[in-house]
């Protein structure tokens, strides 16, 4: 079974799943920096909006009085205004973030007005010549003064090297935070550095194997970690937060980054009311990873957090009618319905993410049949995943009658013709949306269910190689 999931993730275009890399089962001591890094004991709290809280405990030898201390290996995208540094007997006088990293382009720009050495190699003989050159400008190209003449450093593939006499001031090999401290006493003390940074985020990806004949679904959930902060975090403790802190934005004007709404209806059909077992932070759900792991720069990593086998599910069809207009026959949407309930469902809260669905073909091989975004789902929710358009199941909407009643009311009779070319009966979940204001169903040939303030739904059985019809009359304000 594990082989299938790994293959499925590769087919879906996701990174190959990696289990959390393990070190010792107990946390490293706070005074043991990670090998090759100035970081100490690192804890990461990662939110789904791409923002993270980094907490880094380092042991620093401080002199008494005022001193300037440097903290390399912080995020290259650190938000300096969020930095909090605390420790026994210290006070902060000033802090600076040196984000100008040591790159060839940055060295050239910093060297404007300085003199460097050019080494040119004759491609025919291999002989090298050296010339001193003054850098005049480095804006989209390098302009130099060589032997009293102005020359542009060409980018034509000819072997030319530039030798700098020294590293220009202000450039750092690694992102570095420098802080001026006042220390009451000299000695080695633990300092707790905390800051917020973008560029480090996570999302949820789900792989589902649907068995139509058995009426079950297997679901694995994967946390996908992405690090684009410019810094690696090794042997870090991870806490994932399902939610999007507003950052001071007003709810009525906030644009959510994730999840992107699916192009067709689907996702959480009915929100659950069951209390889940996972830890909470305010109104957010926490997903702690049990062991420490490396979160490397420019890396995407996946860690499993959900594995449910044989949960009840059924294949259905959905068709949404947005208003009172007639249309030619159109395909219904193929959908898979299941629950997150503790009884008869997945038994967990689902963070927002993307569900990729597979079914086995006649040979038993899993085949990809579609994917859909799903919003955060409390436990007990009803989920409908739209996987695509049904080839054999069509719906035609017909305006049978429409007349105005008074100054602001309309009476509309709609007829919905459903056809099924498959050799098995199907049930179509037929939605009439757009019932705003004081709209109501006056008469109907099949009993409907009011599923929201502006929608009603019929469950319409359509026989194999047959058809069905539903008629409904609406009283509306338009």
Q: Tens digit of pLDDT for each residue in 286-331?
A: 988 878 989 999 988 888 889 999 999 999 999 999 889 899 999 9
415 touches 401 (CB < 8 A): no
Residue 94 has pLDDT above 80, yes or no: yes
Mean pLDDT for the chain overall: 82
* Confidence at residue 422, expressed as pLDDT on a 0 to 100 scale: 94
Tokens of 276: 């889940």
| Range among 4-8, 281-285, 424-428 rated most confident | 424-428
* Confidence at residue 3, expressed as pLDDT on a 0 to 100 scale: 32
Pick the CATH number of 104-163 from 2.30.30, 3.30.420, 3.40.1280, 3.40.50: 2.30.30
Q: How many CB atoms lie within 10 A of CB 79?
A: 13
Closest Cα to residue 111, out of 132, 82, 89?
132
Residue 30 has pLDDT above 90, yes or no: no
Residue 438 has pLDDT above 50, yes or no: yes
In degrees, to the nearest 5, what angle opens at C-alpha 50 toward C-alphas 45 and 55?
Answer: 25
Closest Cα to residue 458, out of 361, 304, 320?
320
Tokens of 460: 């319409």
Name which of 90-104, 211-225, 264-278, 394-408 the model is least confident about. Answer: 90-104
For 267, 333, 475, the CA distances from 263, given in Å and listed in that order, are 11, 12, 29
**pLDDT > 90: percent of the chain:** 43
Q: Tens digit of pLDDT for each residue in 16-27?
A: 333 333 333 333
pTM, full prediction? 0.66
340 touches 380 (CB < 8 A): yes
Quick one: average pLDDT of 410-429?
95
Closest Cα to residue 114, out of 166, 154, 155?
166
What is the DSSP secondary-structure string of 142-207? EEEEETTEEEE---SS--EEEE-SSPPTT-BSS-EEEEEEEESS-EEEEEEEEEEEESEEEEEEEE
Higher per-residue confidence, 94 vs 193: 193
Residue 203 has pLDDT above 50, yes or no: yes
Tokens of 119: 């080494």
* Confidence at residue 33, expressed as pLDDT on a 0 to 100 scale: 42
Residue ranges per domain, the chain?
104-163, 313-341+354-476
* Confidence at residue 159, expressed as pLDDT on a 0 to 100 scale: 64
Determine the Cα–Cα distance for residues 104 and 236; give it in Å rounded to an integer: 31
Q: Tens digit of pLDDT for each residue in 112-154?
A: 888 888 888 887 888 888 889 898 988 777 888 888 888 887 6
Alpha carbons within 13 angstroms on the beta-carbon side of residue 397 total 21
Q: In what order do the strands lie in the sheet containing 65-72?
A: 65-72, 176-183, 90-98
Alpha carbons within 13 angstroms on the beta-carbon side of residue 156 total 6
304 touches 17 (CB < 8 A): yes
């Amino acid at each position: 079974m594990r082989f299938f999931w790994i293959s499925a993730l590769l087919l879906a275009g996701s990174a190959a799943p990696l289990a959390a890399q393990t070190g010792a089962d107990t946390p490293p001591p706070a005074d043991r920096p990670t090998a090759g890094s100035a970081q100490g004991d690192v804890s990461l709290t990662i939110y789904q909006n791409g923002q993270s809280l980094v907490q880094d405990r380092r042991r620093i030898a401080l002199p008494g009085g005022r001193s300037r201390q440097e903290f390399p290996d912080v995020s290259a995208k650190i938000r300096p205004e969020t930095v909090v540094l605390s420790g026994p007997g210290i006070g902060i006088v000033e802090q600076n973030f040196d984000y100008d990293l040591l790159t060839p382009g940055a060295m050239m720009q910093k060297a404007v007005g300085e003199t460097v050495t050019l080494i040119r190699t004759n491609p025919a003989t291999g002989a090298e010549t050296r010339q001193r050159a003054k850098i005049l400008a480095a804006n989209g190209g390098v302009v130099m003064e060589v032997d009293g003449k102005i020359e542009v450093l060409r980018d034509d593939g000819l072997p030319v090297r530039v030798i700098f006499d020294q590293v220009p001031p202000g450039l750092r090999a690694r992102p570095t935070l420098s802080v001026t401290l006042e220390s009451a006493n000299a000695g080695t003390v633990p300092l707790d550095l905390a800051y917020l940074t973008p560029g480090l985020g996570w999302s949820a990806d789900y792989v589902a194997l649907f068995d139509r004949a058995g009426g079950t679904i297997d679901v694995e959930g994967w946390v996908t970690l992405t690090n684009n902060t410019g810094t690696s975090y090794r042997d870090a403790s991870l806490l994932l937060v399902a939610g999007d802190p507003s950052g001071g934005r007003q709810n009525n004007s906030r644009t959510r980054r994730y999840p992107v709404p699916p192009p067709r209806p689907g996702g959480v059909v009915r929100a659950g009311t069951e209390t889940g077992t996972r830890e909470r932070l305010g109104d957010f759900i926490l997903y702690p990873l049990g062991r420490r792991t490396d979160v490397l720069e420019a890396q995407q990593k996946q860690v499993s957090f959900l594995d449910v086998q044989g949960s009840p599910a059924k294949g259905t069809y959905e068709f949404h009618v947005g208003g009172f207009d007639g249309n030619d026959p159109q395909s219904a949407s193929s959908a898979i319905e299941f629950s997150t309930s503790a009884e008869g469902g997945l038994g967990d809260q689902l963070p927002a993410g993307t569900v990729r669905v597979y079914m086995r073909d006649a040979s038993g091989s899993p085949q990809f049949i579609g994917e859909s975004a799903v919003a955060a789902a409390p436990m007990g929710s009803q989920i409908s995943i739209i996987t695509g358009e049904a080839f054999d199941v069509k719906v035609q909407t017909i305006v049978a009658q429409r007349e105005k009643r008074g100054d602001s009311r309309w009476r509309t009779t709609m007829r919905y013709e459903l056809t099924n070319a498959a050799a098995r009966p199907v049930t179509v979940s037929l939605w009439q949306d757009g019932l705003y204001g004081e709209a109501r169903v006056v008469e109907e040939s099949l009993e409907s269910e009011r599923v929201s303030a502006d929608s009603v739904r019929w469950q319409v059985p359509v026989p194999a190689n047959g058809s069905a019809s539903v008629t409904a009359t609406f009283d509306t304000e338009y």
